[in-house]
């Protein structure tokens, strides 16, 4: 880390020599619309009138400095969030305000859909490693000091007297310029280990590397087995975000370099193998969504299945036992079946046998198995054929039809229905008439029917 932190309200530095506020104004004008800036000016004025200064904070400041579009706009208020939100809402018709008293946060939604997230500036205290923090109101300096990384601990004042004033007490701008990810204090990862995974996301998205002191702190926290103290729900939420990143190669590289693989599997994967099957998995997911728009699929389940495919089953079970993965029980069942299904598919020739093998897997399991085969491979072709054609196939005769033909209800009827369905899959029957003839040929119906 090696910085004397908190030279409060530090100005921006770098190659641009224009005065900080002017530089921020230029960036704001360059990247944000006139209408959006006007709204920020209005909020700044309203907040100042109430004696509760407002600041742009976090990701949107970081993204502005990097010329990236900001997905969300966060405001920190030094005081009563509700009062500011309600005063802003009163000024404009059609504006919606949602206040969350339990978090002291508010969401302002403008008639055109533009949204601002307001939170009260706060001080955080971590009563125990990896526990949730105790929170009390604070000022903007304290609020920036509770944050995860220097690049996320910058603010822009919205106060009418100092609009565009840049607060960078931890040197986030310089770190951004040097591509460095740096925590704010030595216990940061111990207080909140999810920051390692948040950091990994930022490092991959913005091509950052760990500042050497921060890397030491990460290793120290890992040596304390800090993740063992974190709830499964918090861990899984962050891992899910990581698995959703576009740049999977970048994710793998960082998981290796930061020694975070044990969170996902006991040993790091063979170089290249898992990465390429997961990249293929992504292609299969895209293929599926293209062909079945609107059908529900847990994309990350496909990736988890691939991650756990060739490790002891108990390792996957241990993790799913603690993580709230929506269809975890399907993943575990697929992991038990996949090797056998894969072997049997390589031998199977009858379409009905092939279809039933695919049908024994859940949707993510099917896509995971497809991902393990080259796109043009014969097994992959049968899998796609199953999804596109066979999965929705219905037998031309129902149980009711069979009873109308004189078959008695009971287990025997179920067996006949299953055989009919298989014959349909094998192309031996096409419609009610060919099905009736097939039943006669099988001796199930008499050749002359009453
Ligand atoms: P993104 O573009 O992914 O939304 P972001 O920086 O806005 O990036 P958020 O998760 O939206 O990330 O959080 C907003 C801000 O809240 C962060 O920039 C950071 O300052 C702070 N923050 C969020 N989570 C933590 C955490 N676990 N510890 C400390 N600060 C955090
Ligand atoms: Mg954000």
pLDDT (tens digit per residue) in 384-399: 999 999 998 888 999 9
* Residue 78 scores a pLDDT above 90: yes
Which residue in 388, 384, 352, 351 sits closest to 367, CA to CA?
A: 384
Residue 194 tokens, joined: 């999810």
Q: What is the pLDDT of residue 225?
A: 97
Give the chain's end-to-end CA distance (angstroms, integer).
91
Residue 69 tokens, joined: 């579009």
CB atoms within 10 A of CB 41: 13
Residues with CB under 5 A from ligand 2 (ion): 59, 72
CA distances from 280 to 50, 151, 306, 341 (A): 55, 34, 10, 19
Residue 123 parent element (H or E): strand 122-125
Which residue in 313, 327, 317, 316 sits closest to 364, CA to CA?
A: 327
Please report the atom of ligand 1 found closest to the CA of residue 74.
Answer: 14
Q: How far is the CA of 64 from the centre of ligand 2 (A)?
A: 12
Average pLDDT for 109-128: 95
Q: How far is the CA of 152 from the centre of ligand 1 (A)?
A: 7
| Probe target for ligand 1 pocket from 190, 198, 226, 244, with the most ligand atoms within 8 Å of CB | 198
Q: How far is the CA of 71 from the centre of ligand 2 (A)?
A: 7
Average pLDDT for 216-227: 98
Report the percent of the chain where pLDDT is more than 90: 85
* Residue 381 scores a pLDDT above 70: yes
Q: At 448, is the pLDDT very low, low, confident or very high (cuts 50, 70, 90)?
A: low
Average pLDDT for 67-92: 92
Longest dimension (CA), the chain: 98
Average pLDDT for 430-442: 93
Q: At 4, is the pLDDT very low, low, confident or very high (cuts 50, 70, 90)?
A: very low
Q: At 17, is the pLDDT very low, low, confident or very high (cuts 50, 70, 90)?
A: low
* Residue 247 scores a pLDDT above 90: yes
Average pLDDT for 362-369: 98
Give the integer Cα–Cα distance in Å for 153 and 447. 83
Pairing of strands 105-109, 96-100: antiparallel
Give the integer Cα–Cα distance in Å for 198 and 181. 11
Give the integer Cα–Cα distance in Å for 223 and 329. 31
Query: Rounded to 5 degrees, what angle do the CA atoms 274, 182, 207 make?
Result: 45
Burial 74-90 (b: 16+ CB within 10 A, else e): bbbbbbbbbbbbbbbbe
Give the integer Cα–Cα distance in Å for 144 and 167. 9
* Residue 351 scores a pLDDT above 90: yes
Report the percent of the chain where pLDDT is more than 70: 95
Q: What is the pLDDT of residue 103?
A: 86
Whether ligand 1 lies within 6 angstroms of the CB of 194 is answered as yes
Q: At 271, is the pLDDT very low, low, confident or very high (cuts 50, 70, 90)?
A: confident
Q: What is the mean pLDDT of the chain?
A: 92
């Amino acid at each position: 880390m090696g910085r004397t932190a908190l030279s409060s309200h530090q100005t921006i530095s770098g190659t641009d020599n224009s005065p900080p506020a002017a530089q921020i104004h230029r960036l704001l004008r360059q990247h944000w619309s006139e209408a959006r800036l006007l709204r920020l000016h209005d909020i700044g004025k309203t907040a100042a009138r109430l004696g509760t200064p407002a600041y742009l904070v976090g990701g949107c400041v970081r993204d502005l400095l990097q010329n990236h579009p900001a997905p969300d706009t966060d405001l920190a208020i030094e005081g009563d969030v509700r009062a500011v939100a309600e005063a802003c809402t009163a000024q404009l018709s059609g504006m919606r305000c949602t206040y969350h008293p339990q978090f002291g946060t508010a969401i302002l939604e403008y008639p055109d859909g533009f949204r601002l997230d307001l939170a009260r500036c706060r001080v955080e205290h971590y009563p125990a490693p990896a526990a949730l923090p105790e929170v009390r109101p604070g000022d903007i300096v304290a609020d920036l000091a509770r944050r995860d990384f220097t690049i996320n601990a910058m603010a822009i004042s919205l106060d009418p007297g100092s609009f565009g004033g840049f607060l960078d007490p931890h040197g986030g701008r310089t770190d951004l310029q040097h591509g460095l990810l740096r925590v704010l204090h030595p216990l940061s990862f111990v207080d909140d280990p999810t920051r390692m995974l948040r950091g990994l996301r930022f490092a991959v998205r913005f091509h950052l590397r760990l500042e050497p002191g921060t890397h030491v702190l990460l290793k120290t926290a890992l040596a304390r087995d800090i993740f063992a103290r974190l709830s499964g729900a918090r861990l899984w939420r962050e891992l899910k975000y990581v698995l959703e990143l576009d740049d999977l190669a970048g994710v793998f590289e960082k998981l290796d370099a930061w020694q975070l693989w044990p969170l996902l599997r006991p040993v790091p994967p063979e170089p290249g193998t898992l990465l390429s099957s997961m990249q293929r998995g992504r292609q299969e997911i895209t293929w599926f969504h293209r062909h079945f728009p609107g059908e529900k699929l847990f994309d990350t389940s496909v990736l988890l299945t691939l991650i756990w495919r060739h490790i002891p089953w108990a390792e996957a079970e241990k993790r799913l036992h603690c993580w709230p993965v929506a269809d975890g029980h399907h993943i575990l069942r697929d992991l038990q079946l996949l090797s056998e299904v894969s072997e049997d598919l390589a031998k199977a020739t009858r379409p009905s046998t092939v279809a039933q093998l695919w049908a024994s897997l859940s949707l993510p399991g099917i896509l995971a198995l497809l991902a393990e085969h080259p796109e043009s491979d014969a097994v992959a072709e049968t899998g796609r054929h199953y999804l596109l054609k066979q999965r929705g196939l219905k037998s031309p005769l129902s149980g009711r039809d069979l009873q109308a033909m004189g078959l008695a209800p009971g287990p025997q009827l179920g067996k006949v229905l299953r055989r009919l369905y298989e014959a349909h899959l094998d192309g031996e029957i096409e419609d009610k008439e060919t099905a009736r003839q097939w039943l006669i040929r099988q001796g199930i119906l008499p050749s002359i029917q009453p």
